[in-house]
Amino acid sequence: MHKLRAGTGQMLLLVVLELCCKTTLTSVARGGIFDVTGKFGARVACRALLRSATEIARGMLYLHDAGIVHGDLKPANVLLVRSDEDRRGFICKVADFGLSHVLPSCATSVTAESWGTVGYMSPEAFSGRSSRATDVWSFGVILCELMTGQPAYGDATREQVLAGVLAGSLHPAWPDGAPLIQPIIELGRRCLSRDPHDRPPFGDIMPELVRVEVELRAEGLAMLAEAQEAAEAAAALQAAAGPVTPGGGENGELETAACAARAAPHLPYLWL
């Protein structure tokens, strides 16, 4: 207070913000944490993606319920807070409200004088209209970039993106294959519907993401239980066979046990 030269009777407004010390979502996406073909394995990467997307959707739902349109939603505006309780090591926080707008009472959109970031703008946003649906479009682009770790429109220039999105001739490059991420891709495509009325609200997006992760976790637990049962069966067979010497008469039982052990599904690291 002394350094600020605040005198007696003067009012001083302080804004205290949460410290987000784990960089932005852009950095971790490029690091491959959400890549289902990468080193972390498809199931872990997919759940990390779903968890992060859910946190963004939850933040956006809070804003939209308060009548606020973000106006510039992108990975660089999602800050990461360190978390020792989450296996990702972070929690996502939506930030940077420099281009946000408050929707007038009963209004669904406002006229925006300033543009957001071109690569995340919807067709109607280029015409100066900002709404909850324009934020949903941006979220759809984010989903694509989290899965690929690359810009949604590849090497296209700012001008090419603008022209292509307006004309409907340029679309995000969604990844191929990987059945685990198909529900996320389908959701992302709905978020990128050209008609704003066809885009799902965050009130629908968030529970859908939660449901997909819950189902994925249940599948992982079922796989783990199956593997444990197979391993226990193999151990029981080997124990019943007793110790044998190479070439002994008990080889048949040991071979059966070995086959049972090999039949147990190979499980990657499961994020439970």
* Residue whose pair of structure tokens reads 């939850």 in the numeric block: 58
Asked if 69 contacts 130 with a C-beta cutoff of 8 angstroms, the reply is yes
Q: What are phi and psi of 109, to 5 degrees?
A: -155, 165
How much is the average pLDDT of 34-42? 82
Beta carbons within 8 Å of 272's beta carbon, 6+ residues apart: 217, 220, 221, 224
Rounded to whole angstroms, the Cα distance separating 218 from 212 reads 10
Task: Report the pLDDT value the prediction gives residue 246, as an integer from 0 to 100.
Answer: 54
Question: Which of 43 and 80 is assigned the larger pLDDT?
Answer: 80
Task: Report the pLDDT value the prediction gives residue 13, as an integer from 0 to 100.
Answer: 80
Give the domain CATH number at 214: 1.10.510.10
Grade residue 242 by pLDDT with cuts at 50, 70 and 90. low
Q: What is the CA 45 to chain-centroid distance, rounded? A: 9
Most confident of 67-81, 105-119, 207-221, 222-236: 67-81
Question: Which of 62 and 231 is assigned the larger pLDDT?
Answer: 62
Task: Note the pTM of the prediction, 2 decimals.
Answer: 0.80
- Does residue 82 form part of some domain? no
Using a 10 angstrom Cβ sphere, with 0-12 exposed, 13-18 middle and 19 or more buried, the burial of residue 38 is middle
- Does residue 66 form part of some domain? yes
* 8: number of Cβ within 10 Å: 4
Share of the chain above pLDDT 70, in %: 87
Asked if 92 contacts 74 with a C-beta cutoff of 8 angstroms, the reply is no
In the DSSP assignment, the letter for residue 24 is: B
How much is the average pLDDT of 139-158? 94
Domain that holds residue 107: 53-75+97-218
Convert the pLDDT of each residue in 47-89 to its tens digit: 999 999 999 999 999 999 999 999 999 999 999 999 988 889 9
How much is the average pLDDT of 141-170? 94
Judge whether residue 203 has pLDDT over 60: yes
What are the angstrom distances between the C-alpha of 28 and each of 19, 89, 145, 262? 18, 11, 11, 36
- Does residue 155 form part of some domain? yes
Convert the pLDDT of each residue in 114-137 to its tens digit: 788 999 999 999 988 899 999 999
Rounded to whole angstroms, the Cα distance separating 167 from 150 reads 23
Grade residue 260 by pLDDT with cuts at 50, 70 and 90. very low
Task: Report the pLDDT value the prediction gives residue 255, as an integer from 0 to 100.
Answer: 56
Check residue 170 and give left, alpha or beta (phi > 0: left; psi -120 to 50: alpha): beta
- Does residue 33 form part of some domain? no
Give the DSSP per-residue string, 148-199. Answer: HSS-TTTT--HHHHHHHHHHT-----PPP--GGGHHHHHHHHHHT-SSGGGS
* Residue whose pair of structure tokens reads 């997909």 in the numeric block: 212
Tokens standing for 13? 């407004």
Task: Report the pLDDT value the prediction gives residue 170, as an integer from 0 to 100.
Answer: 95
For the ranges 41-50, 88-97, 104-113, 135-144, which has the lowest average pLDDT? 104-113
Say how many domains are in the chain. Answer: 1
From the candidates 72, 86, 195, 198, give the one annotated as an active-site residue: 72
Task: Report the pLDDT value the prediction gives residue 235, as an integer from 0 to 100.
Answer: 77
- Does residue 191 form part of some domain? yes
For the ranges 55-64, 163-172, 217-226, which has the lowest average pLDDT? 217-226
Respond yes or no: is residue 84 known to be catalytic: no
Rounded to whole angstroms, the Cα distance separating 163 from 50 reads 31
How much is the average pLDDT of 178-202? 94
How much is the average pLDDT of 227-243? 75
Using a 10 angstrom Cβ sphere, with 0-12 exposed, 13-18 middle and 19 or more buried, the burial of residue 106 is exposed
